């Protein structure tokens, strides 16, 4: 940081602020505090990573000064060389205008595009019409709009500076002690450089945040960007300091990423569809196998049921057959028993009833017939009672009265009686025509 100031030559009103600055080793700007040596800050990261410093666009610093203060400006620019070497900043002043260029247009362009505007305050600056009436209002307007950071630097004492427009801003060197009043101007410029470094760090952080927010906005936006997004894109470009080519590269990268994501999503969808199809096929196979197993089990069960039904039917038929057979046997047995009973009854009745007789009339000596043998077949007629005669209102009078007659059992010829039989029994033949076998 350089050697401490000569406290004997420092005005009393500046000693407190200068002591705080010297002992704390910190840089104060606006209402915040930034540690220049913070290793996590964007500035420290850029210091440790030169490649990152090359990739990130440096902060542009604009010198607004009076030409009479050129020697002090040159010294300040020399002290800012460490930041330039790191690729953190670039600086611009009117001495860089090329021959033949419109100097006013060049100055207006850079004061409108610079990130940090250094106001090198001196009596000559306040006295300069261009510095005070043109550059200072433009710088303050950009500071108020938030598009640039204005750092007033008090080079030489200026009477009444606290009443000027820049007085509300953080003034360097710290404590408001002009550079020329410092015992060692290098210490003053170190203090200023550290203040500028803190401002640079704050801007880098803002830029990083803006770029992160821009990336998020770009990721959420439809691609290609619709025309109505152009004003918002321009605002993002101002905040992030991306060039047209950088934005085009980002859009192309996001488009490629989306295309890759879409391809991956499509591939995943195909794979998911294949997995779903395979799972459905597996489930369908399992369903078919289960259905086939169910049908087989149903068929087997139906076959067992039919077999059981057939067995039961066979048993029923066999039982009915056995029953019929037993019934038939029982019927036959009963018929046999009845037949036997009937036979026995008939035999008994036959024994009790007269039996048909065959009489050999030739053996009857009292007949005196000349033939050797005249058979006569007789059948027994059982005795009984019957009504003889006609009932009242029927028949003739000779059939009256109707009365009950009892007849004893007798025999009757089985066939009509022949003359020979009649002759053998009655010992006479009353027929008008003759013949032994005539009736």
Q: Express each pLDDT in 174-207 by its tens digit.
A: 999 999 999 999 999 999 999 999 999 988 888 8
What pLDDT was estimated at residue 331? Answer: 81
Write out the two tokens for 210: 């803006």
The domain boundary, picked from 240, 260, 282, lies at 240
> Does the pLDDT value for residue 363 go beyond 50?
no
Residue 25's region, left for phi above 0, alpha for psi from -120 to 50, else beta, is left
Q: Express each pLDDT in 311-338 by its tens digit.
A: 888 888 888 888 888 888 888 888 888 8
Q: Report yes or no on 407 lying in a domain.
A: yes
Q: Report yes or no on 307 lying in a domain.
A: no
The domain boundary, picked from 205, 240, 275, lies at 240
Q: Report yes or no on 270 lying in a domain.
A: no
In this prediction, residues 85-109 reach a mean pLDDT of: 84
Selected residue with higher pLDDT from 156 and 351: 156
State pTM to two decimals: 0.50
Across the chain, mean pLDDT equals 80
Least confident of 69-73, 131-135, 230-234: 230-234
Selected residue with higher pLDDT from 331 and 427: 331
The answer on 235 and 362 residing in a single domain is no
Nearest to 401 by CA among 386, 389, 417, 393: 389
Q: Report yes or no on 431 lying in a domain.
A: no
Q: Report yes or no on 290 lying in a domain.
A: no
Q: Express each pLDDT in 376-421 by its tens digit.
A: 788 888 888 888 888 888 878 888 888 888 888 888 888 888 877 7
Q: Express each pLDDT in 281-307 by its tens digit.
A: 999 999 999 999 889 888 888 888 888
The answer on 226 and 362 residing in a single domain is no
Q: In this structure, are residues 1 and 190 in contact, taking their beta carbons and an 8 Å threshold?
A: yes
What pLDDT was estimated at residue 330? Answer: 82
Per-residue DSSP letter, 172: B
**C-alpha pair distances (Å), 69 with each of 40, 153, 154, 155, 238:** 36, 12, 11, 8, 31
Q: Report yes or no on 375 lying in a domain.
A: yes
Q: Express each pLDDT in 11-41 by its tens digit.
A: 454 444 444 333 333 333 333 333 434 434 4
In this prediction, residues 88-98 reach a mean pLDDT of: 85
Q: State how many domains the chain has.
A: 2
> Does the pLDDT value for residue 7 go beyond 60?
no
Give the domain range for residue 111.
7-240
What pLDDT was estimated at residue 439? Answer: 63
Pairing state of beta strands 375-381 and 410-413? antiparallel
Tell me the CATH number at 31. 3.40.50.10140
Q: Which residues pair with 384 in a beta bridge?
A: 407
The domain boundary, picked from 240, 270, 290, lies at 240
Distance CA 429, CA 419 (A): 7
What pLDDT was estimated at residue 194? Answer: 94
Q: Report yes or no on 319 lying in a domain.
A: no
Q: Report yes or no on 334 lying in a domain.
A: no
What pLDDT was estimated at residue 65? Answer: 94
In this prediction, residues 253-281 reach a mean pLDDT of: 90
């Amino acid at each position: 940081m350089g050697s401490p100031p000569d406290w004997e030559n420092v005005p009393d009103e500046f000693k407190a602020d200068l002591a705080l600055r010297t002992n704390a080793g910190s840089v104060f700007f606006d209402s915040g505090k930034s540690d220049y040596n913070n290793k996590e800050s964007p500035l420290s990261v850029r210091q440790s990573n030169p490649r990152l410093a090359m990739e990130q666009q440096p902060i542009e610093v604009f010198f607004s000064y009076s030409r009479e203060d050129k020697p002090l400006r040159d010294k300040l620019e020399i002290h800012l060389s460490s930041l330039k070497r790191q690729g953190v900043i670039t600086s611009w002043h009117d001495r860089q205008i090329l021959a033949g260029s419109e100097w006013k247009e060049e100055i207006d362009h850079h004061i409108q595009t610079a990130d940090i505007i250094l106001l090198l305050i001196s009596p000559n600056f306040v006295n300069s019409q261009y510095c005070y009436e043109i550059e200072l209002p433009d710088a303050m307007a950009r500071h108020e709009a938030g598009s640039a950071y204005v750092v007033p630097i008090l080079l030489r004492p200026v009477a009444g500076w606290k009443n000027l427009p820049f007085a509300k801003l953080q003034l360097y060197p710290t404590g408001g002690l002009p550079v020329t009043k410092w015992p060692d101007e290098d210490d003053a410029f170190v203090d200023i450089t550290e203040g500028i470094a803190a401002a640079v760090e704050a801007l880098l952080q803002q830029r990083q945040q803006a770029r992160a927010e821009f990336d998020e906005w770009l990721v959420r936006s439809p691609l290609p960007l619709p025309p109505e997004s152009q004003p918002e894109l321009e605002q993002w470009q101002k905040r992030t300091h991306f060039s047209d080519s950088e934005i085009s590269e980002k859009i192309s990268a996001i488009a490629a990423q989306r295309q890759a994501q879409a391809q991956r999503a499509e591939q995943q969808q195909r794979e998911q569809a294949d997995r779903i199809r395979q799972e459905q096929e597996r489930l369908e196979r399992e369903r078919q196998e289960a259905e086939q197993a169910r049908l087989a089990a149903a068929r087997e069960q139906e076959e067992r049921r039919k077999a059981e039904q057939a067995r039961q039917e066979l048993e029923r038929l066999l039982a009915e057959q056995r029953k019929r057979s037993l019934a038939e046997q029982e019927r036959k047995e009963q018929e046999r028993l009845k037949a036997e009973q009937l036979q026995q009854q008939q035999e008994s009745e036959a024994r009790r009833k007269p039996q048909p007789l065959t009489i050999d009339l030739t053996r009857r000596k009292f007949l005196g017939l000349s033939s050797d043998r005249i058979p006569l077949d007789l059948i027994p007629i059982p005795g009984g009672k019957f009504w003889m005669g006609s009932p009242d209102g029927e028949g003739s009078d000779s059939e009256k009265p109707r009365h009950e007659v009892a007849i004893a059992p007798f025999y009757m010829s089985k066939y009509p009686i022949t003359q020979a039989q009649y002759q053998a029994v009655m010992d006479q033949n009353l027929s008008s025509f003759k013949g032994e076998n005539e009736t």
